[in-house]
Amino acid sequence: MVAEWHDPATRGRGKIKPVGEGAKAETLSLLDDALAQPRLREVPDGIRRRLQAHAAQDVSELHPHLERRAEVLSRQAQRALETRGVQEAREMTRILEAQRDRIERQHEKAAGDDQQLTLGFSPQEERQFAANQKHWATRLQTLEAEIRDEPVRIRAGYEVRASRVEPVGLVYLWPVSG
């Protein structure tokens, strides 16, 4: 957020207010230029003390504007996260259903092979076949639960549970001639 600063002594009852987006872009460009030049980062002690003395008041006056801006950005982020959660839940459902379908096909195919077991498979092959059948039946049960529960868990992972506005910094762009 960018605001034009006026000394509180001359501000009267007025408060700092953010500038429009056009002025914001121009100001941020000036700030980038100033930060790129070491001599422009030097601030005389008198000006530094003056700005520091009013920093808390400036943040306080800008805070309602920050809250409103944060609310807009928060809603946008929540919508984006919700969309992402729905997409990932849908993709997970497709993956789990495809896995379930493959296992069911394999299970059905193996049921037809069950008749062939009597045609001379070794005891070890018969045990392996039985173990596979048991594993597939168990996996099918767990897959049904995963298809039901996993999308809900994924969407819940994208829910915003808390939101707050914390000003983390304040930068004054002071003219060299000022």
- Give the start-to-end residue ranges of the domains of the chain: 8-76, 92-157
Is the pTM of the predicted complex or chain greater than 0.85?
A: no
> What tokens does 93 get?
């459902």
**Secondary structure class of 136 (helix, strand, coil):** helix
Q: pLDDT truncated to tens, each residue of the chain (178 aa)?
A: 888 888 887 877 778 888 888 888 888 888 898 888 888 778 889 989 999 999 999 999 999 999 999 999 999 999 999 999 999 999 999 999 999 999 888 877 776 665 555 566 778 877 887 888 888 889 999 999 999 999 999 999 999 998 888 888 898 888 877 5
Ordered DSSP codes for 52-68: HHHHHHHHHHHHHHHHH
Q: What is the pLDDT of residue 115?
A: 58
